[in-house]
Structure 1
């Protein structure tokens, strides 16, 4: 599979990531009733256009699973690790649960569904950012991918750090800070999918 299927996995993963980003972006403009800077992305999953945003979340879930497979098979045997692959799969599964379980709405009593949504969203963020760092770390062991280790790991580490800043710095605008983090994570994932598509040694532009 190595060297033959990974370009296809990268292509489909890029499509899924793009679908997630575009549906989430469109929702920011279509939902004029929501303040994008204050409202987290979860609120766009319910109400008008919620099904569109849910579809984007599911597309990203599929992309994460494809990156799990592609990231594993693209590396040479000594560099492979099941840990990042399993974490990407966990992140993808958690993201689907996040999309399907509605968040709690302010002014209403908390619900079990809202609790599940919150846990799933936190799991998706944590699993995916840790998987990004671990996957980047494994690049050191493959001579074909080694030169991508530093930029990939540094970028992933920034996302991991910002995730904790966003979680604990409560004074930040919840919507804007969360969406910035999502954009950065999606950017790393898109670059990873692009590298699967092009291969480790290709320097051709998009």
Structure 2
């Protein structure tokens, strides 16, 4: 599972490198499906979604689990898989109506991004073993999500949050959000697979 997460992150990084016409700090990863080697992005999303579903199954099989947390994790996994099937629209079209595929992708992705930090909080609270790493990972997921939502809303109103000369930083905050979520998923999987790591 962790290998799948790492592989997906690598694929996103390769897509970033192969498309210098778009800056990954400004543009969200999903938009790179419209560039060179665009297949890397849906492949990464499938890896993330499938591995997340496996982690969800691990949580589901743990005693004392958070039922709501499991459902939220399942929603995250499904959202990623739906987003993989329906590609995002090209960058720079915030002021235009989205295509059907782009709309489905956006809704699925946003729901996934909102669901996982909620799941992280609920599941982490039910872990009986003391794990500072898991608590910190859950907190990072919540903070990263809040930061991403702020920059995302900023873009909808016209970019005003600039950094280091970049017009917007939505791509950066989206990647930070993704990394934080994947770190929490990896951490909860490791914790639950320890003999003392019971939910």
Equivalent position to 2:86, from 97, 101, 115? 101
Q: CA deviation at 1:68?
A: 0.8
In structure 2, the residue matched to 1:10 is none
Q: Unaligned regions of 5+ residues in structure 1, if any?
A: 1-12, 141-145
Cα distance in 2 between the residues matched to 1:191 and 1:60: 15
In structure 1, the residue matched to 2:164 is none
Contact 1:14–1:194 at 8 Å: present in 2 too?
no
In structure 2, the residue matched to 1:184 is 180
Change (3 A) 1:86 1:30: same
Cα distance in 2 between the residues matched to 1:131 and 1:200: 22
Contact 2:29–2:175 at 8 Å: present in 1 too?
yes
Change (3 A) 1:99 1:85: same
Cα distance in 2 between the residues matched to 1:29 and 1:194: 31
Query: Is 1:41 aligned to 2:37, yes or no?
Result: no
Q: Unaligned regions of 5+ residues in structure 2, if any?
A: 155-160, 162-167
Q: Which has the higher helix share?
A: 1
Task: List, as ranges, runs of 4+ consecutive aligned residues in structure 1 with deviation greater than 4 Å.
Answer: none
Number of aligned residue pairs: give it.
180
TM-score, with length taken from structure 2: 0.81
Query: Is 1:51 aligned to 2:31, yes or no?
Result: no
Cα distance in 1 between the residues matched to 2:180 and 2:116: 12
Deviation string 1:93-143 (CA, Å, 9 cap, x unpaired) is 101111221223334642222211111111111112211221111103xxx
In structure 2, the residue matched to 1:165 is 147
